[in-house]
A and B are shown apart, each in its own frame.
Chain A
């Protein structure tokens, strides 16, 4: 048994607890929870207590901008001059069943957007990202991403859980399982979805599910309307001081039981869970309250712009959560398929410029803000969706692009990632990953590495098998690491 597995084994926890108990730390009724807390004793039974990874990771937390629906690489970050020359030409040897609409396959189609070199590295960037273009020197681009399904749900499962099927733990769950939470009063793994009524990404909650991991590691879904967390608000007739006294009385009674059963770990955990819940009632609304942010920051994120204010608020919440110890935040841009997300089957121009306008300034603001607070070094920001789009047109009144599992672009920034670099290449027209191909399992291996994990050793035994995020593959993309 190596150290990391050891950390996660219940035996370890129990012995650690028992040992501390033996060392004379009396578990008297008074100040018990305080003691548990200060000594990290609850680590024994709280599955979310902070844990050390395999090796010190550069990133302590992750903010994943999930570009939902499959953003087109050739219209965003993967500039293809050849497409301009070949615009309208039939693509020889193209398998028309690659995407979804085999009967609407058109000729090669150049990007409707201008590309201009940006930053010191001179990365050509699509005109739809005027703000993000300022940050290319912080980003590591992966142009050779590829996945296993051309269909939203399986591709979303693949990108989130490493397997194109439902029921496996997602990256956020694995990260939380491995690292625990460094927050005492906020969820460790938070998911935010489209607040404009465009629905959830396909596959719904299975995208942030814990699969066979204990469910405590699943993403806490913040409802986009009403209370973000269920039951966060006490009935309005119950005032906070009264609830505090209620809790004190309950603790008193529970501690009397604990005296009789001092080594019952679940009991100690339960006392603490009520304390956490009590604190969460004030800390979560506080963490999500972006209105308290200074005006210049609201402007920086685009919180005052009609188009981007919803996403700006979510990006700002993400920063506030990460600052307060949340481990993993995922924000979905767009909801369901077609025009409700980046799924630009028709009118790629209108679709992508629309969703870029919603997210460009907020994500750029997030990068600036994290940077100026010194948080970017330890926060990994990910921009990735479930697959890319085809270089050929999907015919229609306003042409679009169909799904492409063979090639996508993603970028990483902060948290131990080199800036201003590009890894891997797609072919001449951006149809397939060509040089230094990066499978989704490799992408995940890299994320885990940045968090301090050897992806081969971050395992969980279920049904008699050791499972991991990277299934049976995965290779860390070393050249993009600092």
Chain B
């Protein structure tokens, strides 16, 4: 009973205070109607009962089907609404009906009655009305507009703000809010010493200028943007979007005004002369999941992708639950299903399929994407481009130079080599050969002497090559496989992925007379074999395996040689027959190849293919013995095949080109928006189903919101500009409210995720409106680092809020205040609430000195439980999680790799969303699983050791000063004598324990991948580490207060 009594006294304290003044529809009445009545008497035309709408003034006073008007202005007695709600609950006519699950409390009934008695004045929904700048109330001692508004309200409640928090508290609060990191000892000392009147403002300026500001600001935006490093769904393979994250951090750091921030993320690609940076920004709306499941229907997922974009944009900028209108007219807000799809039409013309690209499972991005070069990349690229240019110029010169002189030189040296037998051809090209296929493929000879198969690609083909052979000896063959654009995947084999598997090679010598002599090719050597498909599998007796060449990925020329144990004699008019067998995987037949032979059983792969017998014989002739035709033949050979200066220069060009191409393809990419030339048609989809299009719709904005500003195009760019025109009722309010929520714990509108008619009435409506107008059109925003505030100045607005007394006041408060205002909405005390998971971890790393404060770059892999990725997927490239070695373990949490189906467990524990979809708000729970992480997770155990070590090395020589240092590092405060005493007693006790157990002490400090300083005595270090562990886990450490 007592419980109920207290509730009446305190729980409804706010509404009772209202009851005496004039009731306002938006503040007092609409929430009741919206909750209890709008479901059947609201905007959804299909659900409307009895022809009654209570959300619109135009309908509420008309007689309903019953014949009676629901509301009669000034006369509750004649109002059917009042009659119905006061009927007994079990009366058939009672409203709301018993089975609706809705009810109206006694207090609410009285409010409705009184409102009608006062004249039943309607208002439009507050959030859809563009705010005017309200007068700032005048209060002595409340010079800051925020304080002026808050104090007005506090006075009516009989409350006051607390005194300003002490400097230590204030610096920590501001540091965590602006950079997400605790202040350093030096920063604490400097701030403590600075007695100037603007010391606090200077500290804010310093923090706002820190590159860690962007990292801190990015956290909430990543939740909204559903940022992740994976595609989601069944395989959940990787993607690269970290360049967008880098853009985001940079945008905050350079204080990009929120209007530009908005336009670039929503439509940067459509800006005239869009920069690369502005295009990267559009990754915001490519952070959605991409389905790559086998049975997916592309059109279905295209629709889901676009709807995700609408939902994310609607939630992020408008705080509207637009997706409610996907299947039907919105139940509560004036957004019809048609309007939903008109809005959809702004987002459906991205040049995309809507599903994951076929190669996306292996970590590639899905079109459209761009490759981005960093400054370092650009330098390297310029170097490579210069090299290429140089090579091209050399080549041009070489082409122009007279080759005849070079030929003469060549002839001389070749003759010499020939005469001195220095020149010994190892591999001799086949001549006069023919190639046949057993399975029906056709072959054409290429200018370089290679053969290209075409036509039919049978299941298991056999290639047979027959060639004349000069008399002498035969020891084996050299097979050169060459990539070709006419082969699948531009690779080496004829299978659809460009691979082949060679299982056997046969060779025989056919003398002009007598039986063919088979040659056993036992030595098998290749310069590359695919893993598990070694060249030694050829001719090993097992036809189920063979030699494969990574056709799908490698695409490089490959050589293999097959040699006999001893050479076979070849007599005049002998012939060579070679057969290649492909007997295992279907259609894995060889692509373009070239053959040469050797008489040398010691031939190596490196042995250059030599001159043909014909050229050799010409070289053997003295100059005067050469006929003109023979000489011409030699010259032609020199110009086309010998390593002449022109050819050499050309090959240098090819090399330089290749180096540049390789470099370019290694550049990181990021997915972006790219508008199609022609907009895609959009339709109302019946029940939101992709396969039930009905009426065709054009792009349009919801009628309840302002129209597109004049002259703006009816596309994404226009939409983005509409959001930040300064006339939009939602954009500025939504941002200001979210910022307020981050700094103070709850938004001025508690439902920061929803500003629709179901939104909570703002607790300080005038203040919210004033701030929204001030954000878009600043009048008093402070300078940041000496620069005057611009419109939509994020740093300026944040600093402004943090300059208020409301922000700066102490957070401790008496019982009375906690009871009156548990969520601290009235701000009669300073903010105090738990840090997010990211900040808890970052703070531990920073305080312990482990943090690697590098900004930006690809995602990192800190410690996570074994098997964290493997349980969710059996496919995809993100499995078998392995933590980084070195700095990746100690980077800030904003860079932690995010796999949607297995998000970082220690972040989820602290209420991080999984980032499957846009999440506007996190809850703040306290659970034992969080405590387990803080006590036992290697991150925190290692940080404790590092902090203990830091206390010993940087904390002076006495126990007190070391403990004091540790305490300051984590709390930013100097411990009082009582606290220090408790810590000291605890420390001494631990030290004694470890002294008794030195082995235990040594083991205790061996945690994590960083190593303890061996010069420190293990027992001391263990005792300090144990104490540090307690410090890191203190409530006041994981709480901002």
Contact = CB atoms under 8 A, between A and B. Distances in A.
B59 interface: no
B785 interface: no
A249 B917 contact: no
Nearest to B909: A230
Given A100-B295, A223-B871, A464-B751, A277 B758 contact: no
Given A264-B818, A463-B754, A235 B332 contact: no
Given A233-B936, A253-B1030, A464-B321, A12 B815 contact: no
A229 B865 CA distance: 10
A267 B867 contact: no
Contacts of B295: 100
Interface stretch (A14-22, A126-134, A378-386, A424-432): A14-22
Given A256-B978, A263-B818, A229 B753 contact: no
B1035 A254 contact: yes
Given A242-B993, A464-B759, A231 B754 contact: no
B925 A280 contact: no
Given A2-B103, A215-B923, A237-B1003, A232 B758 contact: no
Nearest to B1038: A270
Contacts of A120: none
Given A1-B105, A250-B1030, A270 B3 contact: no
B1035 A271 contact: yes
A457 interface: yes
Nearest to A271: B1035
Which of A239, A266, A456 has the largest number of chain B CB atoms within 10 A? A266
B622 interface: no
B491 interface: no
Interface stretch (B359-367, B768-776, B927-935): B927-935
Interface in A234-265: 234-235, 237-239, 242-243, 245-246, 249-250, 252-254, 256-257, 260-265
A466 B759 CA distance: 12
B832 A264 contact: yes
A233 B935 CA distance: 10
A205 B901 contact: yes
Q: Which residue of B10, B756, B923, B927 has the most chain A CB atoms within 10 A of its CB atom? A: B927
Nearest to A472: B39
B377 interface: no
Band of interface residues on A: 35 or more
A251 B554 CA distance: 61
Contact of B234 (A2, A202, A233, A252): A202
B1030 A204 contact: no
A266 B926 CA distance: 7
A230 B1029 contact: no
Contacts of B1034: 250, 253-254, 257
A200 B756 contact: no
Nearest to B753: A463
Interface in A428-477: 454, 456-457, 459, 462-466
B260 to A, nearest CB: 29
Nearest to B321: A463
B914 A249 contact: no
Interface string B969-984: 0000000001100110
A313 interface: no
Interface residues of B, number: 92
Contacts of A226: 865-867
Nearest to A47: B925
Contact of B979 (A18, A199, A253, A277): A253
A223 B873 contact: no
A94 interface: no
Interface in A346-371: none
A249 B1033 CA distance: 11
Interface string B98-137: 0101010100000000000000000000000000000000
B1007 A276 contact: no
A59 B1000 CA distance: 49
B925 A215 contact: yes
Interface in A322-363: 336
Interface in B893-932: 901-902, 905-906, 908-909, 911, 914, 916-917, 923-932
A167 interface: yes
Contacts of B1004: 237-238
B941 to A, nearest CB: 6
A166 B1030 CA distance: 40
A238 B1026 CA distance: 10
Contacts of B753: 462-463
B874 interface: yes
B832 A230 contact: no
B287 to A, nearest CB: 16
Given A15-B7, A202-B234, A256-B978, A237 B908 contact: no
B173 to A, nearest CB: 15
Interface in B734-771: 751, 753-754, 756-759
A273 B927 contact: yes
B819 interface: yes
Contact of B932 (A11, A22, A199, A231): A231
A249 B321 contact: no
A166 B993 CA distance: 52
A200 B871 contact: yes
B979 A456 contact: no
Nearest to B983: A253
Given A206-B916, A231-B933, A266-B926, A15 B11 contact: yes
A281 interface: yes
Contacts of A18: 6, 815, 818-819
Contacts of A11: 7, 10-11, 822
Given A193-B871, A260-B812, A336-B874, A234 B935 contact: yes
B905 A257 contact: no
B989 A245 contact: yes
Contacts of B1003: 237
Contact of B928 (A239, A254, A277, A463): A277
B1030 A224 contact: no
Interface of A: 1-2, 6, 10-12, 14-16, 18-19, 21-22, 45-48, 100, 166-167, 185, 187, 193, 199-200, 202, 204-206, 209, 214-216, 220, 223-227, 229-235, 237-239, 242-243, 245-246, 249-250, 252-254, 256-257, 260-267, 269-271, 273-274, 276-278, 280-281, 336, 454, 456-457, 459, 462-466
Given A16-B3, A264-B832, A265-B822, 11 more contacts: A11-B822, A14-B822, A206-B914, A231-B929, A237-B1006, A263-B814, A265-B818, A454-B101, A459-B101, A463-B753, A465-B331
28 contacts: A12-B3, A19-B2, A21-B815, A45-B926, A46-B926, A200-B872, A204-B902, A205-B901, A209-B914, A214-B923, A220-B929, A230-B905, A230-B933, A232-B936, A237-B1004, A237-B1006, A245-B989, A246-B1026, A250-B1030, A257-B1034, A261-B811, A264-B818, A269-B926, A273-B926, A274-B935, A277-B931, A280-B928, A464-B758
What 4 A-B pairs come out closest when comparing CB atoms?
A: A464-B758, A277-B931, A456-B101, A276-B928
